[in-house]
Amino acid sequence: MKQILLFFSGFLAFAVSAQEPVTWQTSIEKTSSTEITLTITATIEKGWHLYSTVEPDGDIVPIPTSFVFDNGEGNYELVDPIAESKPITSYDKIFETNLSYFDGKAVFTQNVKLLNPNLPSITGSVEYQTCDDQKCIYRDDLLGFSLDGSPVSFNTPQLNQESFKITESLKLPLKNPEMAFENTTASEAKKGLFGIFVLGFLGGLLALLTPCVFPMIPLTVSYFTKQSGNRKKGIQRAFLYGLFIVGIYLALSVPFHFIDSLDPEILNTVSTNVWLNVIFFIIFVFFAFSFFGYYELALPTSWGNKMDSASGVGGFMGIFFMALTLAIVSFSCTGPILGSLLAGSLSADGGASQLTAGMVGFGLALALPFALFALFPNWLQNLPKSGGWMNTVKVVLGFLELALALKFLSNADLVAHWGLLKREVFVALWIVIFLLLALYLFGIIRFPHDGPKKRPSFLRMATGVLAVALVLYLVPGLKKDNPNGLKLLSGFPPPVFYSVYQQKSDCPLGLNCFKDFDEGLKYARENNKAILIDFTGWACVNCRKMEENVWSRPEIHSLLKNDFVIISLYVDDRKPLPKEQQFNYQFDTGRVKAIETVGDKWATFQALNFKTASQPYYILMSPDFTLLNTPQQYTDAATYHEWLKNGLNNAVTTSEVKPIQ
């Protein structure tokens, strides 16, 4: 378990770091008419280590530096393995093994025999990990060698003329580009942050009711009020304790704010990555069975013991370590809830800010009881006694984790187009999950940590009835002729057109849509219609909510069907682009990204033209590239309807598209 946690914590550290502590230079030395030596020099910032090319021993070890050279056409042969300058070898306390690494500078050489004397350049890549005393960074950078011997930037050779040409072709000649960047969605962003804050707060309240946290409330409050000498000092310490709890959970979200400086699309890439969603599915199932009581999920005991010892320091630091101890020892109950919050917040649409809002809400809910009971200690007498009801809360959370797990598997299935978890299959599995939950609440099925069997309480029976009601609500979702059903769950099941039944269209609500911009533009010009660009995603919950709750309104559906050409561009589509359409795109930061899938292309198209990576994101324009309105995001039906009408009316002044009557 410790090794798994180390792996995932290291993985997150690689993903969120925005630093570039290693830079690369390349050069070539001709040793004969057919042989050359490629020299790769790494300059390493002070305090950082770059690891050797030799694989170290151990279960959890850093990734060794490795090189790959592109030789698809057999223009040369590599002679002998790559050589490296002499590394430093010493024992590493973190990885608990001897490691070979470089400080300051490292030189790697590769001998090459040329088979094509007219070869202009050699390209490749370097995969490496670099660490300092606090964090590690993983990189996969491009390398290039000009055969005239001059040094080149590591990413320059891959940005060839064809890449520049394709990048330029994605840029739209907008006639009024300033309209695309007017901030019309600030209030919606605030609503989104408030909503995730509330969800985080509710998650914290649920965590309070679990056996990992609830028994600690009276113990901790009593400690502060009785050991502080006077009531005023006890209240101050309890408030400080609560403040540290909020700060600890807030700190968990801080690294994700660096992600946008790496790649404005990386949050969307992470949240829609097929295998990451599969991993989330497995983890959530693992969490669920922990809640069911089949095994205990906990961080290493030594962590809690060390923090508990440190809490005896006294003063501010002692209180801080007490708060950190709570966070560690309660992980078996709070971890799955935090995991849900983390996975649900990692999206391009303000993901880092939403994660911060959710973490603050979660921490505030955990901290609030300690402050309130310190202010009003008599309330402690009214707290319910610990008992079997807390295990019931955990089991209910376990069923909810199973339901959420299916959402992540559904995301992977949609993005990869596997066709395994169609809408009706997803709904059927949810029916089974919530039916089992109802049977548990009614006392028919039991789990390992349940106490002696007795008559279920009124609250437990009422919750069971709610679970049955949800099952009855879900049943019509299995029918073929129920296109607008399950609106209360919009965004969770797969879209209606992703069905086991034969559908007339793979577009939302049977509308006619294009999934390629050029094809849609051509059709709009031929039919003299306004264009609605719909930046969407297969795994985008708010996109489904807009389609099922807003686009389905008769007045909006009519406009979309009759007056607009819909171009739906899925930014998370993992279908590979044809080889001739693949290219490399350089961000303003200088980093280069390989555009290899359909989703990569449309995400880059959105970033290039509209400087955003949010979904859903809607653009209205005429076929002559005149924007008809400011962009629109997730909103209500009335606002969206008015936005469509205004955009279509504005089209009168720029084209012959007919106005709304």
Please say which residue of 158, 189, 217 terminates a domain. Answer: 158
* Residues present in the chain in total: 661
From residue 254, alpha-carbon distances to 7, 351, 363, 419 in Å are 20, 12, 14, 37
Backbone φ, ψ for residue 33 (5° rounding): -65, -25
- Token pair for 458: 């009124």
Contacts of residue 244, Cβ cutoff 8 Å, sequence gap at least 6: 319, 320, 322, 323, 324
Q: Is 100 helix (H, G, I), strand (E, B) or coil?
A: strand
Residue 3 in contact with residue 123, Cβ under 8 Å? Answer: no
Which CB contacts under 8 angstroms, 24+ apart, belong to 216-225? Answer: 216/326, 216/330, 217/369, 217/370, 217/373, 217/380, 217/383, 218/373, 218/380, 218/383, 220/322, 220/326, 220/370, 221/369, 221/370, 221/373, 221/374, 221/377, 221/380, 222/380, 224/370, 224/374, 225/374, 225/377
pLDDT along the chain (661 residues), means of 10: 38 42 85 89 88 76 82 82 91 74 92 87 82 66 72 46 82 85 51 73 78 66 60 74 83 68 54 78 84 68 52 63 71 65 55 76 82 67 62 84 86 84 91 94 85 80 92 87 71 80 76 92 92 88 85 92 93 87 72 82 88 84 92 90 91 52 39
Alpha-carbon gap, residue 188 to 180, rounded angstroms? 17
Instruction: Determine contact, residues 193/353, Cβ cutoff 8 Å.
Output: yes
**Residue 166: how many other CB atoms lie within 10 Å:** 19
Structure tokens at 307: 């923090």
* Pairing relationship of beta strands 592-595 and 583-586 according to DSSP bridges: antiparallel
Tell me how far apart the terminal alpha carbons of the chain are, to the nearest angstrom.
65
- For the purposes of burial, counting CB atoms within 10 Å of the CB of 495, is it exposed (0-12), middle (13-18) or buried (19 or more)? buried
CA distances to 47, 60, 337, 346 from 253, rounded to whole Å, are 25, 25, 15, 10
Structure confidence at residue 225 (pLDDT):
58
Cα separation of 257 and 278, whole Å?
24
Crossing angle for the helix pair 637-650 and 554-562, nearest 10 degrees?
Answer: 30
DSSP H stretches of helix in 442-566: 458-474, 517-527, 541-545, 554-562
Residues whose CB is less than 8 angstroms from the CB of residue 218 and which lie 6 or more positions away in sequence, other chains included: 373, 380, 383
Residue owning tokens 């793979």: 506
Distances 565 to 317, 488, 574, 581 between C-alpha atoms, Å: 62, 28, 24, 25
State how far the alpha carbon of 346 is from the alpha carbons of 260, 277, 411, 506, in Å.
Answer: 12, 11, 13, 27
Distance, in Å, from the CA atom of 52 to the CA atom of 81, rounded to the nearest integer, reads: 13
Of the residues 158, 181, 213, the one at which a domain ends: 158
**C-alpha–C-alpha distance, residues 439 and 454, integer Å:** 14
Preceding omega of 616 cis (within 30 degrees of 0): yes
Which neighbouring-strand residues pair with 123?
Answer: 144
Q: Is position 246 within any domain?
A: no
Position 341: which residue type?
A: L
Alpha carbon distances (Å) from 535 to 271, 603, 606, 650: 16, 8, 8, 21
Identify the sign of the CA torsion 414, 417, 422, 423: positive
What's the pLDDT score for residue 261? 47
d(CA 99, CA 267): 33
For residue 410, being part of any structural domain is answered with no
Residue type, 604: T
Query: Does some domain include residue 523?
Result: yes
Contact 426, 474 (CB under 8 A): no
CA distance 316 to 236: 11
The CATH number of residue 97's host domain is 2.60.40.1250
Residue 419 falls inside a structural domain: no
Scanning the structure block, which residue is given the tokens 């020099």? 41
Tally DSSP H helices, then E strands, for the chain.
20, 17
* Max Cα distance, the chain (Å): 90
Question: What whole-number distance in Å separates Cα of residue 77 and Cα of residue 57?
Answer: 30
Q: Where are the alpha helices (DSSP H) in 376-450?
A: 388-416, 423-441
Between β-strands 530-536 and 564-570, what pairing exists: parallel, antiparallel or unpaired?
parallel
- Report DSSP state, residue 546: I
What's the structural domain count of the chain? 2
How, if at all, do strands 152-153 and 22-30 pair?
Answer: antiparallel
517 found inside a domain: yes
Which residues lie below 8 Å from residue 502, measured CB to CB, with a gap of 6+?
Answer: none
Domain that holds residue 118: 2-158
Final residue belonging to a domain, choices 108, 136, 158 = 158
Query: Hey, is 84 helix, strand or coil?
Result: strand
CATH code of the domain covering residue 602: 3.40.30.10
Give, as one character, the DSSP assignment of residue 576.
B
Q: What is the pTM of this model?
A: 0.58
Vertex 383 angle, CA 382 and 388, to 5°: 135
**Residue 35 counted as domain residue:** yes
Torsion of the alpha carbons at 269, 275, 276 and 279, rounded to the nearest 10: 170
Domain-located, residue 111: yes
pLDDT for the residue 400:
86
The secondary element (H helix, E strand) that includes residue 532 is strand 530-536
pLDDT value at position 129? 78
Please tell me the distance from the alpha carbon of residue 419 to that of residue 95, in angstroms, as a whole number: 42
Distance, in Å, from the CA atom of 193 to the CA atom of 220, rounded to the nearest integer, reads 31
DSSP one-letter code for 632: B
Residue 626 lies in a domain: yes
As a whole number of angstroms, the distance between CA 329 and CA 440 comes to 28
102, 108 in Cβ contact below 8 A? no
Residue with tokens 């962003």: 189
C-alpha distance from residue 141 to each of 83, 148, 593 (Å): 19, 22, 10
Residue holding tokens 């660490």? 131
SS3 343: helix
| C-beta pairs of 391-394 under 8 Å, 24+ apart in sequence | 391/211, 391/293, 391/447, 391/449, 391/450, 391/451, 392/441, 392/460, 393/206, 393/209, 393/210, 394/210, 394/211, 394/291, 394/292, 394/293, 394/333, 394/449
C-alpha closest to that of 158 among 576, 577, 602, 585 = 585
